[in-house]
Amino acid sequence: MEVFFGLPALVLLALLGGGSVKVTSGGRSRLVERLGKYDRELQPGLSFVLPVVEKVVSHESLKERVLDIPPQLCITRDNVSIEVDAVVYWQLLEHSRAYYAVDNLQAAMVNLVLTQIRAEMGKLDLDQTFTTRSEVNELLLKELDEATDPWGVKVTRVEMRDINPSSGVQQAMEAQMTAEREKRAAILRSEGEKEAQLNEARGRAEALVLDARAQKEALLLEAEAQVKQQELLAKAKAEAALELASALEANPKAAEAMRLMLAKDWMQMGEQLVDAPAGSVLMVDPQSPASLLAALKQFQQGQV
C-alpha cells in the first residue's frame, strides 16, 4: 500500500518539479508547442504544461513598448546629408503570428523604420524636413502600421526626435540666418528713417499751414479794425459838422469866429486835395460858412 500510494505521489512531484506548472502574469503571453508544433497560447494565470511532450517556446509582453531607432544618415531631395533618429511605440497584438512570421521581431522593425525614414526624407527638401515633421510622422505611422500588420504588431505612434544636418550645412544655415536678420534689421532701419522724415515733413507743412492761417486771421482782424476805425471817425466828423452847422444857423454872429476856426481845416483840406483822386473838385463860396460846411461835409463823405 505504501508503494502503491508512493508511485503517484512521485509522478505528481516529478510533473510539478519538472516545470509543468506555469504562472503567467497579466499583460504577458506564453506560446506552447506540443511535439514541435504550435498548440496554444497561455493566458494570464495558472497553466499546466506536459513535460517532455509540451514546451514553452516564447514568453513576451503584450503591453505597449518603445523601440529606439538609432541615428540614420539620409539624403534629402536637394542632396543634403542629414542624420535622423526616431522612436516607435508599438504593441504585440497576436503573439503567435509575431513569433512564427518573422525571426527577431525588433531587428526587423528597426530595419523597416530606417528604410521608411530614408524613403520619406528623400522626398523632401532640407527646409521641409523641419517644417513638415508632424506630416512625416503621420506618414511613417501609416506605412509602418500597414507593413507590420502581418506580424501581429500594432504601431501606435512614430516620432522623429532629431534632424541634424552636417557641420558644413549647419554653418551655411547659420550664415544664411545671420544675413536674413541683418537684412530685416536694415529694412527696419530704413523704414524708421523714412517714417521719421515723413513725420518731419508733415510737421513742417502743418506749421506752415498754421502760420499762414494765423497771418490771414491777423490781416482780417487788422482790416476789420481799420474799417471800424474809419467808420467811427467818419461818423464823428459828420456829427461834428452837423453840430457846427446848427450852431451857425442859430447864431449868425458867430460866422466870423467860425471862419477862423475853419481856416485850419481849410488848409488841411487843401493838403488832402493834393493827394485826392483825379476828378475830385471842391466847389465852395468862401464868403458863406454854411456852404463851406456843406462842402466839407460832402468832401468828407466822398473820402469815406
Number of domains in the chain: 3
My answer on whether 107 and 156 are in the same domain is yes
My answer on whether 55 and 71 are in the same domain is no
176: in domain: no
175: in domain: no
More confident residue, 4 or 148: 148
Distance CA 292, CA 298 (A): 10
Cell of 120: 520619406
116: in domain: yes
pLDDT in the model for residue 44:
79
197: in domain: no
More confident residue, 276 or 212: 212
Distances in whole angstroms, Cα of residue 266 to Cα of each of 15, 98, 232, 273, 292: 162, 138, 22, 10, 9
Q: pLDDT tens digit string along 223-260?
A: 888 888 888 888 887 777 777 677 666 776 666 666 66
171: in domain: no
Tell me which of 140, 165, 190 is where a domain ends. 165
Give the pLDDT band of residue 10 (cuts 50, 70, 90).
very low
Q: Are 292 and 284 in contact (CB under 8 A)?
A: yes
**Average pLDDT over the chain, rounded to an integer:** 77
Is the pTM above the cut of 0.95? no
Residue among 196, 219, 226 nearest 211 (CA): 219
Tell me which of 141, 165, 189 is where a domain ends. 165
Tell me which of 45, 60, 75 is where a domain ends. 60
My answer on whether 290 and 245 are in the same domain is yes
242: in domain: yes
My answer on whether 227 and 292 are in the same domain is yes
My answer on whether 73 and 44 are in the same domain is no
Q: Is 118 exposed, middle or buried (0-12, 13-18, 19+ CB in 10 A)?
A: middle
My answer on whether 259 and 291 are in the same domain is yes
My answer on whether 265 and 285 are in the same domain is yes
Q: Which domain holds residue 150?
A: 64-165
**Is 135 a residue whose pLDDT tops 60?**
yes
173: in domain: no
The alpha-helical segments, DSSP class H, found in 18-121 are 95-101, 105-121
194: in domain: no
My answer on whether 83 and 52 are in the same domain is no
My answer on whether 90 and 20 are in the same domain is no
Cell of 230: 474809419
pLDDT in the model for residue 284:
54
Q: For residue 249, how many other CB atoms are within 10 A of its CB?
A: 11
My answer on whether 296 and 214 are in the same domain is yes
Torsion of CA 168, 171, 176, 181, to 10 degrees: 170
My answer on whether 235 and 282 are in the same domain is yes
Q: pLDDT tens digit string along 168-219?
A: 666 666 677 777 877 888 888 888 888 888 888 888 888 888 888 888 888 8
User: What type of residue sits at position 266?
Assistant: W
CATH code, domain carrying 73:
3.30.479.30
